[in-house]
Amino acid sequence: MTVQEEILETIKAYETIIIHRHQRPDPDALGSQVGLAEIIRASFPEKTVYQVGGPVEGLDYLADMQTVADTDYQGALVIVTDTANAPRISDQRYDQGAKLIKIDHHPNDEPYGDLVWVNTKASSCSEMIASFWSTYQETLTMTKEAARLLYAGIVGDTGRFLYPATTATTLRLAAELLDRGFDAPKINRQIDQISRSVARLSGYVYEHIEVDESGAGKVILSQELQQSFGVVDSETSAIVSLPGKIEDVVAWAIFVEQPEGYYRVRMRSKGPVINEIAKRHHGGGHPLASGANAADLEEVAMIYQEIQEVIKQA
Ligand code: AMP
C-alpha cells in the first residue's frame, strides 16, 4: 500500500478531520490546507472537516479559518499541510487528535506524525493535494473552489510557474484545475497586486540592494524603515523575489528587523543551495528558498558572508 493509499483509507475511517498549516501562511499553506478540506467535504458530506490556524494575514481573499474546541480533537484525524517542522504548525493542538498525518514538500527534517507523505520534488504542497485528487478521482471530488485554492497555492510557490521547481506535472495538474472554471485571471491578480506602501518599498529595495562581485545580494529593512514606509513584516513577502529579477544577482537575503530586535531572514537563490545556511541559523526550507533568524547585525553579516561563500563554491 502506498502512503497516499493509506492516507485515503485513513480519511475514510474518521468522522472528524481537522486540518492545520504553518504560521505566517502563504498561498500554498492556505491553498493546500483549505483545498484539501474542500475536497474532503465534497467527497464525504457526512464528515465534519475543520480548517484551523488563526489569522490569514492579508490572504482573506483565499479562505477563512474556523475555531475548534479542545474537545473536537478527541478521536479526530489531524492533517498538517506544507509544514516541515512541528514548532511552525499554526495551533499547537495538532497533536491532540487520535491520528496525525503530515503532507509536505519541504525537506523532511522532522518527520512528525503517524503517516508522513513528503515529496520534495513537488513545486508546492498544493500540487501534492491536486495529484492526490488526480490519483483517486473516482473517490474524490474536485470542486471549483478547491481548484481555485490549489491553483493559488501552485501559483504562489512557483512565482507563477517561474521557479525551477515547476515541472511538466505541475503544468498538467494546473491545467486540470483550470478546467474547473474558476476565475484564474482574478486570483493571479490578487496574488500579484501590492499596496502603494509595498510599491514604494519595492523602489527602496531596488535602489538600496547591495550586490557584491559574486552576485550575493543583501537588503536590510530596519524597524524604523518599515515604519517610515508603513509596512509590516507580513507584507515583505511581496518584495522577496524582486532581487532575482536583477541579472547579476545569484543569491540574496532580505533581513527584516522584528519589533523584538532580531531579524527574520528571507533567502532565495537561482542555483547555489542555501537551505544549509538557513539550518545553521534557526531556520530551514527548500534548497533555493529558505528562511532563518539572525539575533543581531553581527549574525546578519555572518549569514551574508555564508551566502557569498556558497556562491563562490558553486
Ligand atoms: P519565506 O522567506 O518566509 O517565504 O520562507 C521560505 C521558505 O523557507 C519557506 O518554504 C519556509 O517553509 C522556509 N522557512 C522560513 N522560515 C523558516 C524557519 N524559521 N524554519 C524553517 N523553515 C523556514
Rounded CA gap, 228 and 36, in Å? 40
Query: C-alpha grid cell for residue 226?
Result: 518599515
Number of domains in the chain: 2
| Contact by Cβ (8 Å): 17, 77 | yes
CATH for 138: 3.90.1640.10
Same domain, 188 and 213: no
- Domain range for 15 is 3-192
Our mutation pick for probing the ligand 1 site, out of 236, 240, 280, 290, counting the most ligand atoms within 8 A of Cβ, is 290
195 — phi, psi (to 5°)? -80, 165
Rounded CA gap, 216 and 307, in Å? 6
Same domain, 113 and 200: no
Does 264 sit in the ligand 1 pocket, CB within 6 Å?
Answer: no
Does 290 sit in the ligand 1 pocket, CB within 6 Å?
Answer: yes
Does 289 sit in the ligand 1 pocket, CB within 6 Å?
Answer: yes
From atom 14 of ligand 1, which residue's Cα is the shortest distance away?
Answer: 291
> Tens place of pLDDT for every residue, the chain, 314 residues?
999 999 999 999 999 999 999 999 999 999 999 999 999 999 999 999 999 999 998 899 999 999 999 999 999 999 999 999 999 999 999 999 999 999 999 999 999 999 999 999 999 999 999 999 999 999 999 999 999 999 999 999 999 999 999 999 999 999 999 999 999 999 999 999 999 999 999 999 999 999 999 999 999 999 999 999 999 988 999 999 999 999 999 999 999 999 999 999 999 999 999 999 999 999 999 999 999 999 999 999 999 999 999 999 99
Same domain, 145 and 228: no
Domain end (from 161, 192, 223)? 192
Same domain, 136 and 85: yes
Same domain, 272 and 288: yes
Q: Dihedral of CA 89/92/93/97: which sign?
A: positive
Q: Which helix (H) or strand (E) holds 269?
A: strand 263-269
Domain end (from 171, 192, 213)? 192
Burial 172-195 (b: 16+ CB within 10 A, else e): ebbebbeebebebeebeeebeeee
pLDDT of residue 57: 84
Rounded CA gap, 282 and 202, in Å? 27
Does 291 sit in the ligand 1 pocket, CB within 6 Å?
Answer: yes
Same domain, 177 and 206: no
Q: Checking DSSP bridges between strand 216-221 and strand 210-211, what pairing results, if any? A: antiparallel
Same domain, 148 and 223: no
pLDDT of residue 65: 98
70 — phi, psi (to 5°)? -55, -35
Domain end (from 192, 219, 251)? 192
Q: Which helix (H) or strand (E) holds 10?
A: helix 3-13
Does 156 sit in the ligand 1 pocket, CB within 6 Å?
Answer: no
| Of 287, 289, 40, 240, residue with least CA distance to 149 | 40
Distance, CA 140 to ligand 1 centroid (Å)? Answer: 31
Which numbered atom of ligand 1 lies nearest the CA of 26?
Answer: 4
CA distances from 194 to 57, 67, 199 (A): 14, 29, 6
From atom 19 of ligand 1, which residue's Cα is the shortest distance away?
Answer: 283
pLDDT of residue 174: 98
Same domain, 57 and 90: yes
Rounded CA gap, 290 and 152, in Å? 20
Does 272 sit in the ligand 1 pocket, CB within 6 Å?
Answer: no
Same domain, 82 and 67: yes
- The SS3 assignment for 313 reads helix
Does 124 sit in the ligand 1 pocket, CB within 6 Å?
Answer: no
Same domain, 183 and 212: no
Same domain, 152 and 229: no
DSSP annotation of 88 reads G
- The SS3 assignment for 200 reads helix
CATH for 248: 3.10.310.30
Same domain, 177 and 204: no
Radius of gyration of the chain (CA): 20
